[in-house]
């Protein structure tokens, strides 16, 4: 897959250009009609939990698909040495502005999350997927991504993930989802099942520490969000 085909496949550059044009700060500002947003409630719950507090600091964190840096900023405010990565150049420009306004220290870069070539093996203690994985459609790409995460996460390091799922009530027609593939008509979102997601993690030696579903406040909502906290095992390749 070429760089440009990936841009149309999972990149949000056009959306972030619209956000910047209307002086927005991040993804929740995409639509002119403001909606109740709880995009970071689960991340904040994780940061208040023993799963985070028990990690020795300073925690080196990677924010996948960081967008305007809202999760990156929250991690930095908790004392993490954090790097955010996004395929969208405009998202990274927004993130740098937001980080500066928040008065925190964080590093954000333009890059491809499927390869993470800028990072060394075992570089991070924590990886955050706050709504990135459901933008990765092809099974081979999802496996490539999770393998890259394992490479850059140290043994015993933790993964936080909140991703859209087909669990619970999901109106396939309302959201133009193909029931056979669980991919939407625009080929920009994939709704996983809990079994598929857990099998993907287990295939690269991640153990599930905690997992629960969160129903979004929007009505109708595009499926349940599944929150997972996992730990990289000690297996040597």
Q: Would you say the C-alpha torsion 203, 118, 27, 210 has a positive or negative sign?
A: positive
pLDDT in the model for residue 77: 97
pLDDT in the model for residue 170: 85
Domains of the chain from N-terminus onward: 3-232 (3.40.50.150)
Helix and strand counts by DSSP (H, E) for the chain:
8, 7
pLDDT in the model for residue 28: 86
CA distances 166 to 41, 179, 200, Å, are: 20, 10, 16
pLDDT in the model for residue 38: 77
Q: Which residues of the chain register pLDDT less than 70?
A: 1-10, 32-37, 216-221, 237
Is the pTM for the entire model greater than 0.85? yes
Pull the structure tokens for residue 174. Answer: 């309302």
pLDDT in the model for residue 39: 86
Residue with tokens 């809990």: 194
Angle between helix 139-152 and 194-203 (nearest 10): 50
pLDDT in the model for residue 214: 81
Measured at the CA of 89, the angle between CA 83 and CA 95, to 5 degrees, comes to 45
Give one DSSP letter per residue of 2-48, joined into a string: -HHHHHHHH--HHHHHHHHHTT--SGGGSSSS-----TTHHHHHHHT
């Amino acid at each position: 897959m070429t760089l440009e085909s990936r841009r149309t496949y999972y990149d949000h550059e056009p959306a972030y250009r619209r956000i910047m044009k209307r002086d927005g700060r991040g993804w929740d500002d995409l639509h002119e009609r403001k909606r109740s947003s709880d995009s970071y409630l689960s991340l904040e719950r994780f940061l208040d939990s023993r799963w985070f507090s028990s990690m020795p600091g300073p925690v080196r964190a990677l924010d996948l698909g960081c967008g305007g840096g809202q999760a990156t900023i929250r991690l930095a405010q908790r004392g993490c040495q954090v790097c955010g990565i996004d395929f969208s150049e405009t998202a990274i420009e927004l993130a740098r502005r937001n980080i500066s306004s928040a008065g925190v220290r964080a590093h954000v870069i333009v890059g491809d999350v499927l390869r993470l070539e800028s990072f060394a093996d075992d570089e991070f203690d924590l990886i955050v997927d706050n709504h990135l994985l459901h933008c990765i459609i092809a099974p081979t790409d999802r496996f490539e991504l999770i393998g890259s995460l394992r490479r850059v996460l140290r043994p015993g390091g933790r993964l936080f993930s909140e991703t859209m799922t087909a669990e619970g009530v999901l109106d396939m027609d309302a959201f133009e989802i193909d029931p056979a593939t669980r991919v939407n008509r625009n080929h920009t979102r994939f709704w996983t099942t809990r079994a598929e997601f857990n099998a993907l993690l287990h295939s690269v030696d991640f153990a599930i520490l905690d997992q629960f579903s969160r129903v979004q406040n929007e009505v109708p909502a595009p499926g349940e969000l599944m929150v997972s906290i996992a730990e990289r095992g000690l297996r040597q390749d």
